[in-house]
Amino acid sequence: MIWKESYKFITSQILEVMNNINNESINKAKEIILESQKIFVYGAGRSGIIGKAFAMRLVQLGLVAYFIGETITPIVTDHDSVIIISNTGNTKSSVLVAEISKNVGAKIIAITSNPNSEISKISNLQILLGPISHNSLAPLGTVFEDATLIFLDSFVAELMESLKQTEEDLRKRHAIWV
């Protein structure tokens, strides 16, 4: 069955991507985030859905986080960080968010599979999730998007340790437990 072949391909690609992430970039990302007054997350399309999930976890960690484009999102300042998720790193809206964020002096973290992308050039830090293999078993940005979700969920555990937060602490900030 094709779905079995597909999940085997997707998970093998994700493992390869995850094993190639630079640990120093993780430490630098953690430093930038923990020094920020507010953390903003942005991504277009499916990258945006993953970004919203990450922003939610940041709030559950007790941090002040927003997803750019929501009606209640405040302005970005030079005391903030902006995390931009883009497979190609050249999505016009992502590049625009990076340019505006840079102009106000915010720290920019690019999560992309393209080390030569526009957002990579603009950002203070690049977290490279690649190289990515494409085929019909994982159409369009599937491997990047799935790898990004797994990476960011794993990164939450890193932040939890630094902030000395437990799962119970996060649960207390989880909407369904209020």
The residues annotated as belonging to the active site are 145
- Cβ(117)–Cβ(145) under 8 Å? no
The alpha-helical segments, DSSP class H, found in 20-174 are 23-34, 46-60, 92-104, 118-122, 142-163, 167-172
CA distances in angstroms from 122 to 115, 117, 177, listed in the order given: 11, 9, 39
C-alpha to C-alpha distance for 118 and 114, rounded to whole angstroms: 9
Residues 6+ apart with CB under 8 A from 1: none
**Of 141, 143, 112, residue with least CA distance to 128:** 112
